[in-house]
């Protein structure tokens, strides 16, 4: 029997390529996307490649879509094995701290922090039935001279602490769900206006790292896996 995965923000970029690569390994893909037209275009592309996939509307700005998706999956795909929280927004990647508007921070926090929190909370009971995994795509634990977009870091980095705290609760409460983060490295996507450079990776390379971990059958609960060389993932 094939395994099932729900991937948010999967109509393009890293999410789409991760869906494709898992689908090629006979996973059933629940493709989360907020826009139906774009979601169905992605679904049709994958179906033409022989991948079993279904679009699920999920908009991290609207809690009701998360709740509706959870209800649908509980009713029709209760054997889901993995949730990959991939969706996120970056804001103005060039803006310096003193130039950032507080409304932008609030908007990004709604998606990058609260949206992911709602996804974890809504899907933990479903995944617990199958000893499932929650995989969160995240960023380095600290800013560096190579990566310092203020709004994105300020609203995304707290996800790392949230992962660790959920992992502790799962362990203490004996909830059979594994939660961890993956930092896939600098990746050329529309999130950064398709930035390129010596250390930048393609979405295919990033997805390979994600798929490798998702399918490795090893326990990573509470860990943030950092992709820091072409060949290794290190735990922090």
Contact 69, 32 (CB under 8 A): yes
236 compared with 213, residue with greater pLDDT: 213
Output the pLDDT for position 200.
66
pLDDT digits (tens, 9 = 90+) for 108-163: 999 999 999 999 999 999 999 999 999 999 886 565 556 677 888 888 889 999 99
Output the pLDDT for position 92: 80
Q: At residue 21, does pLDDT exceed 50?
A: yes
In eight-state DSSP terms, residue 229 is: S
Query: Exposed/middle/buried for 175, CB within 10 Å: 0-12, 13-18, 19+?
Result: middle
Token pair recorded at residue 6? 């729900």
Question: Using one digit for the tens of pLDDT, what is the confidence trace for 49-62?
Answer: 999 999 999 999 99
pLDDT attached to residue 195? 56
Give this prediction's pTM: 0.89
Q: Rounded distance, CA 85 to CA 181, Å?
A: 9
Contact between 138 and 179 (Cβ < 8 Å): no
Model pLDDT, residue 205: 86
For residue 41, what are its two tokens?
A: 């275009």
- Taking only the tens place, the pLDDT of each residue in 166-223 is 999 999 999 999 999 998 765 655 554 555 555 567 888 889 889 999 999 899 999 9
Residues 101-105 have a mean pLDDT of 91
Give the number of residues written for the chain: 236
Q: What pLDDT digit, counting tens, does each position of 1-15 carry?
A: 689 999 999 999 999
Q: What is the average pLDDT across 26-38?
A: 98
The two three-digit tokens of residue 127, written as one number:
């995944």
Per-residue pLDDT tens over the stretch 62-95 = 999 999 999 999 999 999 999 999 998 887 877 8
Report whether CATH 3.40.50.720 matches the domain 2-224.
yes
Domain boundaries, the chain: 2-224
pLDDT for 90? 80
CA pair distance 151, 30, nearest whole angstrom = 30
């Amino acid at each position: 029997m094939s395994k099932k995965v729900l991937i948010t923000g999967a109509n393009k970029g890293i999410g789409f390529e991760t869906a494709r690569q898992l689908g090629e390994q006979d996973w059933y893909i629940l493709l989360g996307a907020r826009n139906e037209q774009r979601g169905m275009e992605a679904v049709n592309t994958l179906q033409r490649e022989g991948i079993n996939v279904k679009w699920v509307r999920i908009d991290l700005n609207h809690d009701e879509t998360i709740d509706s998706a959870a209800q649908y999956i509980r009713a029709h795909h209760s054997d889901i094995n993995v949730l990959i929280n991939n969706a996120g927004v970056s804001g103005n990647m060039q803006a310096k701290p003193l130039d950032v508007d507080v409304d932008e921070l609030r908007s990004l926090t709604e998606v990058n922090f609260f949206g992911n929190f709602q996804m974890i909370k809504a899907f933990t009971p479903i995944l617990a039935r199958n000893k499932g995994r929650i995989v969160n795509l995240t960023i380095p634990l600290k800013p560096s001279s190579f990566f310092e977009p203020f709004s994105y870091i300020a609203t995304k980095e707290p996800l790392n602490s949230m992962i660790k705290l959920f992992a502790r609760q799962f362990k203490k409460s004996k909830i059979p769900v594994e939660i961890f983060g993956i930092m896939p490295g600098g990746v050329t996507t529309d999130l950064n206006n398709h930035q390129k450079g010596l250390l930048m990776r393609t979405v295919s390379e990033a997805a390979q790292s994600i798929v490798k971990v998702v399918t490795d059958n090893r326990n990573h609960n509470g860990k943030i896996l950092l992709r820091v060389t072409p060949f290794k993932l290190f735990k922090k």
